[in-house]
Structure 1
Amino acid sequence: GKYLCGFTNHKIDIEKQVNQFRCKEDDLFCLDFTKKIITSKIKNQIVILRRYDKSKQDDIKDIISSLNKYISEIQNCTSINEILGFEGTSAKLYFSGLSKLVHDDFHFDKRSKRPPKDPFNALISYGYSLLYNEVVLALNQVGLNSHAGFIHQNKLGHAALASDLMEQWRGPIVDSLVMKLINNNLISISDFTLNESTGGYYLSRKANNAFIKYYEEKIRSKNSYFRHANFPMSFRYSILFNIYELVRCLEDGNLDNYKTLTLR
């Protein structure tokens, strides 16, 4: 379950990385970037809850109301830690909402990882791992340093910038895919086994191959969420497009023209 290695073509663009590290030292730039990314993440969580709340449950409405309140609060935050506090609280609320909208077989109590303590969390964690490496590869292709982030702290072996950027993509790509697979019975509870020694749940080889196939279909599917682009693009290309837009903002240290992905 741990990342070991990968074959990548590291396209280092020193000019882009000079701009990147300059902005990394700019507290106001990092704060504005965090507000944009986390606001987008929570907005996407709201859309997903609404999509799957077919019976219009009152408790889901209450969760959405709280999430909207956190979005407003974030705009007035003066530190990244303050924003991350709202982000953590919103994540707990969001997953508590998803637990009410998923098939009974996949009901879960809370978000768990390393190892995931239930089949739902196993799928979510697996999807996030695939997405994380997707963003790392895109950053390498563009020439940025994937380890120099603006939100997440530096940590040995951790691609912090990839973790930063993937926050806006978690809901649109992974969460929506997992909900679709479960609610359409494309993945069943019998596809998982419990490892007694770790307490973690793991996919069978057959289901693992199926999940990768469905993930690949999702990442290649077209969308028009970046309306200013004026053309549909796959989620995979959307990630690349978003990073190139960030590069342009890094040149002058101004995020006014940086658009995050927000579901509608």
Structure 2
Amino acid sequence: MVGIRGNRAYLSFHNETVKTWPLSVLDAVIVMGRIQLTTDFLGYCSEHGILIILASSTGRYKGEVSNYPKNLDVLKKQVAQFCKSGFERSLSESVLKAKFTNCQRVLEQQARRKTLNASKCEHLNEVIKSLNKAKNQILSMTTPQQHFLLEAKVAKQYFSGLIIAVTAQWQFSGRNRLPPKDPINALLSLGYNLLFNNLLCLVRKHGLHPDIGFLHCGDYQPSLILDLMEPFRPLVVDATVLKLINKQQLRPTDFVYQGEQCLLSQDALKIFITAIEEKCVATFHCKQSKQLKDYRKAMSDQVLSLKTYLTQQSEFLAFKVL
């Protein structure tokens, strides 16, 4: 339960206070799972224009309680800026450079594994070089279509590196989905869905519209969420999948098949969701901002960076490891 005592908000569990915050620091609230908000707390948020996002325990966006006029200014700026010709180019460049850098980092970590033989390490290093080359190619491209095609080409090269990093017992031959046909793809699809949920809530928290994107325009899913996910896919999801299977915390026997679809068992599902959540809240020293933060804070900061870029024309910083 979340409520108010004096000038502080409190979080309680079984009538014991777990944490408190000064009311003055609240700018938005994301409610994940079965959490009760007291009438006093709801009233305070409504009176002060504090957005409340409602989500499932896995972060799936359900809706929101908002002071709509407060967020309308941000939405107007987003629509106006994205209608300008060529506006999306710098955003696409920043996101793709960050994604390619983060993909490199994941493959570099795998290349240092002592269990890989020389030929596999050599292949991984070739993929890493191709990712570095792709970052330079971005500068010569001028249209969203060119950026999108480059991203698809690099993704194929990147997954060829992941194939090398996964042992043969997993029978992973590349990315497939709708439905995922093997355990690795089942993990990747679920992980990307959890990441999607997190970013959708954060985008709504900052008053942006999830359907107005710059790289995945025309996709059947909210394009802005797909855009902002890109830098975090390798670091949050791919790295977690590799860690779980390399440490044998998950095994091929933890999966079941329904027709062509591969699914996680209930036990495997709990292990994986817990691992993703632990990854999201694990702290690290961010060289980009020179601060101690976690990946969920990094996601929020990236969305905030886009918001200030749209409203104040400041530099947009897509998250990358340096």
Match of 2:210 among 121, 146, 164: 146
Question: Partner of 1:16 in structure 2?
Answer: 74
Could you tell me which amino acid in structure 2 is paired with residue 245 of structure 1? Answer: S
CA offsets per residue over residues 131-176 of structure 1, 9 Å max, x none? 00110000111111111111112456x2211111000110111111
Deviation, 1:101, is: 0.8
Pick the structure with more helix per residue. 1
1:162-181 aligned within 5 A: 162-181=225-244
State the secondary structure of the residue aligned to 1:9.
Answer: strand
Could you tell me which amino acid in structure 2 is paired with residue 36 of structure 1? Answer: S
In structure 1, C-alpha distance between the alignment counterparts of 2:319 and 2:232, rounded to whole Å: 7
Match of 2:177 among 113, 123, 144: 113
Q: Does 1:223 align with 2:284?
A: yes
Which consecutive residues of structure 2, in runs of 5 or more, have no partner in the other structure? 1-57
Deviation, 1:226, is: 5.5
Is the CA contact 2:144–2:214 (under 8 Å) kept in the aligned structure 1? no
Match of 2:265 among 204, 208, 212: 204
In structure 1, C-alpha distance between the alignment counterparts of 2:188 and 2:84, rounded to whole Å: 33
Deviation, 1:63, is: 1.3
In structure 2, C-alpha distance between the alignment counterparts of 1:204 and 1:100, rounded to whole Å: 25
Is the CA contact 1:226–1:261 (under 8 Å) kept in the aligned structure 2? no
Number of equivalent positions: 255
Show structure 1 runs of 4+ deviating over 6 A.
none
Structure label with greater radius of gyration: 2
Is the CA contact 1:113–1:121 (under 8 Å) kept in the aligned structure 2? yes
Give identity over the alignment, percent. Answer: 27
In structure 2, C-alpha distance between the alignment counterparts of 1:155 and 1:163, rounded to whole Å: 9
State TM-score, norm by structure 2. 0.75
State TM-score, norm by structure 1. 0.91
Pick the structure with more strand per residue. 2
In structure 2, C-alpha distance between the alignment counterparts of 1:10 and 1:147, rounded to whole Å: 19
- More relative contact order, 1 or 2 (CA 8 Å, 6+ apart): 1
CA offsets per residue over residues 28-59 of structure 1, 9 Å max, x none? 22011011101111111111111011246211
Deviation, 1:261, is: 1.1
User: Alpha carbon RMSD of aligned pairs, Å?
Assistant: 1.8
